[in-house]
Structure 1
Amino acid sequence: MSRFPFLAQRLFNVPVAIHPQKAEVVVCALADRLGVTHLFHGGKAIALDASTLADESPALDVGYDVVGGVAVIPVVGTLVQKLGNLRPYSGMTGYDGIRINFMTALLDADVKAIVLDIDSPGGEVAGCFDLVDLIYANRGKKPIWAILNENAFSAAYALASAADRITVPRTGGTGSVGVICMHTDLSRALDKQGVVVTLIRYGARKAEGSELEPLSDDARARMQADIDQMGSLFCDTVARNRDIKSTLVRSYEGGTFLGAAGVQAGLADAVRAPSDAFAELLSSL
């Protein structure tokens, strides 16, 4: 069974820190696979088949490779709060897996340094900043490098910023420090198919922002307030991690930076090919 319903649940109507172009790609991909006829078939909502998903999941392993005494933790694809895998799977990486891998590497006597091997447009806000704080709090115990191969945008950049050092290739990108929320309104599509959904509420704000009805002005304002708060947290966190002014991070307005421009903006430390950056780390040990 397809995992697109799972991905849709993680990305729609929740705050996400993801590169806008990636968000557009996800929306287009899911729109083709998650039409209203798929969401409501025979009057019943489609549910994920847990046994099928279990069959798809690969066997768990240590979660990272150790090369020359360096633990290489992959951070690739869309980032989600809980994936249930230590390694990336089906185009996603879970904060839960990164956290376990990072803590295990810290305690592994054979590991002398840790590399976050990043190529990600970002993902969920949920779980991101707690993981960022965990990485930041453990600076100094072992060298922690974020080696971009190629991009670290939005939530992925938040993780990278917690490392001691960030390297980016010439064609790689950093930034997109911001938060978005994509609200979907299925009410007109349901009307065309003759499906009427009535929300029975206790509490005026219950089910506020539901995809089954148009977004009200009040709901939009409250959602915007939440996004603003999360965006401020993002900017302040990056400023702390990179030792730059929060006002400077805010001035970037969620923009992205290519290669050396990210270094000039204070979002990376050096322009390096991933192999050169890894060799530099090994030589420093």
Structure 2
Amino acid sequence: MALDLRRAQDLLALDQGDAMVAGLRRPAMALEANNGLRVEPGERFAVLRGVAVVPVRGILTHGSALYESWFGWATYSGIEDTAAQLAADADVTAVILDMNSPGGLVIGCEAAAEAIRSLRAVKPVHALVNPLAASAAYLIASQATSITMTPGALVGSIGTMTEVLQPVQPSLYGDQAFIITSSHARAKRPDPTTEVGRAELQRFADEAEARFHQAVSLGRGIALEELPALLSVTDDPADGGASYEFEAALARRLVDGRETRAAFYDRIFAQHGLQPRRPATGGRAALGAQAVAAAAKAIAAT
């Protein structure tokens, strides 16, 4: 969950390719499940036999119709709205979060996670990591009823980071940039070249991480005090923030299982999918058929 998007963009480069250049064509593709369900680019979800499928893809930000419609990326505000809509829909029996995201901005992430947690209280929410749910994306996935990874998938990157630029030499235009904040707003633009500035940036990152850990603790049922050591790749609790493949993620209680995408969808639809409605054989439909038959018989007799 980062304020700097460059690493997230690198992780998505293989998926987006040159289609991102100037928005010349839509890089987004429809999400298709093996049961015939299809979520078109720009759609937030689709429902088949009572199971709603919600794509959570791309670099996550609070809200942008452009990101949703052109890139097919989820937004925090879109996730909130979708969760509320599905929670209130009595015809929806379960929800799948089909996830492929490296994370995104801190701002707005917690509200989206809380919306998924509220939805989970009403009906089952199953997250499929296919193939990435890192940082803010994992925070959202952690609020689901269960988390399943596809083979080779990654989860984790639990922590926060930020990158700050500070002018320290003349710019390309030959000018030195100076930034002055008001007398009681030193934390508005912390100077990372000073000890005070670094302390302020560290405070922000640590407070965001504390909220991240609390959400994962609630969602996964892991004691909050256990998380730092559980997430570390060494004996030092400070060495957390890594991403994990299935075995390591399972050992840390971050996920519940591993399946192919096809097997996951088959299982969830078998558990929660409603049976297709059969044509009516009585009542108004039967009376209509009888009327048609009677009319045909009368015509034949004339």
Q: TM-score when scaled to structure 2?
A: 0.70
Indicate how the Cα distance of structure 1 residues 157 and 16 shifts in structure 2: closer, same or farther if over 3 A, else same. same
Does the 8 Å CA contact 1:75/1:88 hold for their aligned counterparts?
A: no
**By how many angstroms is 1:135 displaced?**
1.5
Q: Is 1:16–2:5 an aligned residue pair?
A: no
Does the 8 Å CA contact 1:18/1:155 hold for their aligned counterparts?
A: no
What is the aligned counterpart of 2:194 among 207, 216, 221? 216
Q: CA RMSD in A?
A: 3.2
Q: Please give the per-residue CA displacement for 1:57-91, whole angstroms capped at 9, x wherever unaligned.
A: x9997621112321111111110012236946436
**By how many angstroms is 1:206 displaced?**
4.5
Indicate how the Cα distance of structure 1 residues 183 and 199 shifts in structure 2: closer, same or farther if over 3 A, else same. closer
Q: Is 1:194–2:174 an aligned residue pair?
A: yes
Among the aligned pairs, what percent are the same residue?
26
Indicate how the Cα distance of structure 1 residues 201 and 258 shifts in structure 2: closer, same or farther if over 3 A, else same. closer
**By how many angstroms is 1:208 displaced?**
4.1
Q: Is 1:255–2:236 an aligned residue pair?
A: no
Does the 8 Å CA contact 1:125/1:155 hold for their aligned counterparts?
A: yes
Structure 1 unpaired stretches of 5+: 1-14, 27-51
**Alignment-derived partner of residue 279 in structure 1:** 266
Farther off after superposition, 128-137 or 102-111: 102-111
**By how many angstroms is 1:265 displaced?**
1.4
Structure 2 unpaired stretches of 5+: 13-21, 29-39, 232-239, 273-302
User: Of the two, which has the highest radius of gyration?
Assistant: 2
**Alignment-derived partner of residue 269 in structure 1:** 256
What's the secondary structure of 1:16's corresponding residue? Answer: coil
What is the aligned counterpart of 1:111 among 92, 97, 100? 92
**Alignment-derived partner of residue 205 in structure 2:** 227
Equivalent positions of 1:1-285 (< 5 A) are 16=2, 21-22=7-8, 63-84=44-65, 87=68, 89-90=70-71, 92-188=73-169, 190-203=170-183, 205-206=185-186, 208-209=188-189, 215-251=193-229, 252=231, 253-285=240-272
Indicate how the Cα distance of structure 1 residues 100 and 250 shifts in structure 2: closer, same or farther if over 3 A, else same. same
Distance in 1 (CA, whole Å) between partners of 2:104 and 2:215 is 17
What's the secondary structure of 1:249's corresponding residue? Answer: helix
Distance in 2 (CA, whole Å) between partners of 1:23 and 1:250 is 27
Does the 8 Å CA contact 2:94/2:123 hold for their aligned counterparts?
A: yes
What's the secondary structure of 1:191's corresponding residue? Answer: coil
Does the 8 Å CA contact 1:209/1:215 hold for their aligned counterparts?
A: no
Distance in 1 (CA, whole Å) between partners of 2:155 and 2:254 is 7
Number of residue pairs the alignment of both structures matches: 241
Q: Give, as a single letter, the amino acid of the residue that structure 2 aligns with 1:139.
A: R
Distance in 2 (CA, whole Å) between partners of 1:72 and 1:249 is 30
**Alignment-derived partner of residue 47 in structure 1:** none
**By how many angstroms is 1:119 displaced?**
0.4
Indicate how the Cα distance of structure 1 residues 23 and 86 shifts in structure 2: closer, same or farther if over 3 A, else same. closer
Distance in 1 (CA, whole Å) between partners of 2:132 and 2:41 is 26
Does the 8 Å CA contact 1:139/1:164 hold for their aligned counterparts?
A: yes
Q: Give, as a single letter, the amino acid of the residue that structure 1 aligns with 2:137.
A: A
Indicate how the Cα distance of structure 1 residues 153 and 18 shifts in structure 2: closer, same or farther if over 3 A, else same. farther
What's the secondary structure of 2:141's corresponding residue? Answer: helix
Bigger fraction of residues in strand: 1
Distance in 2 (CA, whole Å) between partners of 1:18 and 1:168 is 26
**Alignment-derived partner of residue 235 in structure 2:** none
Q: TM-score when scaled to structure 1?
A: 0.74
Does the 8 Å CA contact 2:84/2:115 hold for their aligned counterparts?
A: no
Q: Please give the per-residue CA displacement for 1:80-116, whole angstroms capped at 9, x wherever unaligned.
A: 0122369464364210111112211222333221111
Indicate how the Cα distance of structure 1 residues 141 and 85 shifts in structure 2: closer, same or farther if over 3 A, else same. farther
Indicate how the Cα distance of structure 1 residues 101 and 18 shifts in structure 2: closer, same or farther if over 3 A, else same. farther
Q: Please give the per-residue CA displacement for 1:164-219, whole angstroms capped at 9, x wherever unaligned.
A: 0110012001111100011123443x534313334344215357437xx7642211
Indicate how the Cα distance of structure 1 residues 215 and 184 shifts in structure 2: closer, same or farther if over 3 A, else same. same
Does the 8 Å CA contact 1:75/1:93 hold for their aligned counterparts?
A: yes
